[in-house]
Structure 1
Amino acid sequence: MDEMRVLAPTAILGYGFPEASFAAGLARRPHVIAADAGSSDPGPYYLGAGTSFTDRTAVRRDLERMITAGQELGIPVVIGSAGGAGAAPHLDWLRGIVDDIAAEQGLRLRAAVIPADIDRDTVLEALRDGRISAVPHGPQLTADDVQASTHLVAQMGTEPLVAALRAGADVVLAGRAYDPAVFAAMPLLHGFDEGLALHMSKILECAAIAAVPGSGSDCMLGTLRRDHFVLEPLNPDRRCTPTSVSAHTLYEKSDPYRLPGPGGYLDLSDCVFTPEDDRSVRVTGSRHLAQPFAVKLEGARLRGYRTVSVAGARDPFFIREIDTIVQGVRDRVADNFPDIPADSYHLLVRVYGADGCMGTLEPSPRPTGHEVGIVIEAVADTQDLADTLCGFARSTMLHFGYPGRISTAGNLAFPYSPSDFHAGEVYEWSVYHLMATDDPLAPFPISYIDYPGDPS
């Protein structure tokens, strides 16, 4: 085989894709349909809580079309980071969707299920053996961090996915996975160059975001050959350019030449991006250099409970004094609740129009517009305490006095009633580290399900 075609319908399973684009991709007779289903971008909540950040109806819509198309063409469908965060409840959730699809469509297929959960004892043993290292600028891991985690997962590389495909799986459902792995597995099974396969997959993971105009809800086709690959959007309204493809190569990366992953890194120092035609781009020169194998661990722990109040302000004198007002509110909360230790709760006031996005990193923190948006957030050990702190901070800011104040009816405009919202459980990253392992398959046991039938 001298050519491998990989169809990426969408950037995240559940984000959707146009039927016309998907049909155009199927007409190119791809060898595999693949999609990444998750990310750590939405933060630690979804891993900690064991819930999906994508909607079940939307995920089912995407997956049903992909599996049906795969059956019609006789090609596999590969999904990674099931349910968003890729832990056991997320994988079970996605498997339940496949169960429903297979039953309702009367499908006969074999599915591989690959969990990514790592038990605490395994991580603690690796910690004692010195096989755990921090990511750049991250803290060192402690045993308490591990024990506090509600869920712990490891990012699998390509090896478990390749093994599942080699065993004849029609559908592969994987827990937390290295984003490019689901796209690279089929090419690697057939002996294609690892550097080219992983680089193409790095771009395919976000589907048509690498096109102009970019979209995470549209399809992209990658064609891998022995000495290069070609990327092409499947919507005629989009096109790939050397700039758009090379720019997306750098997506979420701090080094333009070395892109790390499980078992090594991509060396792009000799990479060349050239137009293949007016809508597609050819890429050459990508290399993969092996290193001792390590998986990234992710874990989340409960931090507390959150209550939020959203408001706006338009008085120019209020806006001018906003820093003083916010600090005054903080001081008043501390003064009113002297029995609550300051380190037992978190009170945050974001001022949009000033530094709401970047916080202390904002180079121009003084508000310059005619209005600001304000988000008051309290995080505490219980929801009741978060309610109390947020409510007191909100009412204090509503009636806080400041120079130039004219109206005493209230400083804030509330878009909602009630003004305060329970945001529920708050999770924080407890584990975000690398764990060295000699066997890239061992942490990720594979089971198979035959539809119709029972697990084998």
Structure 2
Amino acid sequence: MDEIRVLSATAILGYGFPDASFEAGLARGPHLIAADAGSCDPGPYYLGAGASFTDRTAVTRDLERMIRAGQRLGIPVVIGSAGGAGAAPHLAWLRGIVDEIAAGQGLRLRAAVIPADIDRETVLQALRDGRISALPHGPQLTAEDIHASTHLVAQMGTAPFVAALRDGADIVLAGRAYDPAVFAALPLLHGFDEGLALHMSKILECAAIAAVPGSGSDCMLGTLRRDHFVLEPLNPVRRCTPTSVAAHTLYEKSDPYHLPGPGGYLDLSDCVFTSEDERGVRVSGSRHIAQPFAVKLEGARLRGYRTVSVAGARDPYFIREIDTVIQGVRDRVADNFPDIPPDSYELLVRVYGADGCMGPLEPSPRPAGHEVGIVIEAVADSQDLADTLCGFARSTMLHFGYPGRLSTAGNLAFPYSPSDFHAGEVYEWSVHHLMATDDPAALFPITFVDYPGDPS
């Protein structure tokens, strides 16, 4: 095999893709259809709560088309980070969708199911053995962090996927996984260069985001050869350029030359990006440097319960005094509820138009526009307490006096009634660390499920 073609359907399963783009990709004769299904970008809630951040109907739509195409072409379909966060409830959720598709279509399938959950005792033993390290700028892991986590997952690399494909899986459903692994596994099974395979896959995991104009809801084709790979979007309105592909290579990376992953890092010091034609880009020179294998651990614990109130203001005097008003509201809350320990709740106020996005990192925190958006948020040990604190802070800010105030009817404009919303459980990251392991596949046992197809 001189080349292997990989079709990336969408940036995250459930984000969708145009049927025309997908069919154009299928016409190119891909050897694999794959999609990453998750990310930790939406925050710790989804892992902690065991809930998907993608919609079931949307995921079913994408997955049904991918499975039917895989059956039509006789090629595997590979999905990683099931249900968004990739823990046991997420994997069961995605498998349930496959069950429905297979039964409804009468499909004969061999599915490999690969959980990513890791038991607490395994992590605790690794902690005792000194095999767990903090990520840069992160805290050291403690036994308390491990016990407090509702779900613990380890981010699998390519090895479990390679094993599943070697054993004849038509579809692979995996828990939390290194994003490029779902695309790189088949090339690695066929002996292609690891550096090129992983680099191509690192770009394919976001589908057509590396194109111009970019989109996470459109398809991308990667063609891997022995000394280079080519990327091209499948929608005629998009094209890849050396700049767009090189820029996306750096996506979420702090070092432009060294991209770490399980078992080593990509060295891009000698990488070259050149135009292949009007819409494609050829990439060469990517190298993989092996290191002792480690998996990234992810865990989330319950922090409390949240209530939120959204409002706006456009009085220039209120906006001028906004910092004083916020501090005055905080002081009134503390004064009005002296029996509530300060460490049992958080009262957050975000001012959009000032520093709502970056908070203390904002270089120009003073409001500059004619209006501001205000989000009052209370996080407490119970939903009732969060309701109480948010409601009191909201009413206090509504009637708070300040220099230059002309009207006493109220300082805030509320777009909704009721003005306060229960946001429910709040989770925070409790585990975000690396765990060294000698065997990259041992933590991730594979179970095969055979769908018999239509008996008629």
Superposition TM-score tier, normalisation by shorter sequence = over 0.9
Deviation digits for residues 82-116 of structure 1 (CA, Å, limit 9, x no counterpart): 00000000000000000000000000010000000
SS in 2 for 1:273: strand
TM-score w.r.t. length of structure 1: 0.99
Give ranges in structure 2 of 5+ residues lacking alignment. Answer: none
Deviation digits for residues 10-31 of structure 1 (CA, Å, limit 9, x no counterpart): 0000000000000000000000
Give the aligned partner of residue 428 of structure 2: 428
How far apart, in 2, do the equivalents of 1:43 and 1:452 lie? 38
Deviation digits for residues 273-315 of structure 1 (CA, Å, limit 9, x no counterpart): 0000010000000000000000000000000000000000010
Give the aligned partner of residue 253 of structure 2: 253
Matched, 1:210 2:223: no
Contact 1:103/1:452 (<8 A) preserved = no
How far apart, in 2, do the equivalents of 1:435 and 1:155 lie? 10
SS in 1 for 2:62: helix
Aligned AA (1:203): I
How far apart, in 1, do the equivalents of 2:264 and 2:249 lie? 17
1:452 shift after superposition: 2.5
How far apart, in 2, do the equivalents of 1:289 and 1:107 lie? 41
Give the aligned partner of residue 379 of structure 1: 379
How far apart, in 1, do the equivalents of 2:266 and 2:364 lie? 37
Give the aligned partner of residue 141 of structure 2: 141
How far apart, in 1, do the equivalents of 2:329 and 2:177 lie? 44
SS in 2 for 1:215: coil
SS in 2 for 1:117: coil
SS in 2 for 1:432: strand
Q: Percent identity?
A: 89
Give the aligned partner of residue 156 of structure 2: 156
Contact 1:275/1:281 (<8 A) preserved = yes
SS in 1 for 2:349: strand
Counting matched residue pairs gives 453
Deviation digits for residues 399-437 of structure 1 (CA, Å, limit 9, x no counterpart): 000000011010000000000000000000000000000
Give ranges in structure 1 of 5+ residues lacking alignment. Answer: none
Contact 1:350/1:375 (<8 A) preserved = yes
Aligned AA (2:22): F
In the TM superposition, what are the counterparts of 1:43-442 in structure 2 within 5 Å? Answer: 43-442=43-442
Matched, 1:28 2:28: yes
Deviation digits for residues 215-243 of structure 1 (CA, Å, limit 9, x no counterpart): 00000000000000000000000000000
* 4+ runs deviating over 6 angstroms: none
Aligned AA (1:144): E
Deviation digits for residues 338-377 of structure 1 (CA, Å, limit 9, x no counterpart): 0111111000000000000000010100001000000000
SS in 2 for 1:331: helix
CA RMSD of aligned residues (A): 0.5
1:211 shift after superposition: 0.0
How far apart, in 2, do the equivalents of 1:452 and 1:176 lie? 27
SS in 1 for 2:17: coil
Aligned AA (1:72): R
Give the aligned partner of residue 9 of structure 1: 9
SS in 2 for 1:93: helix
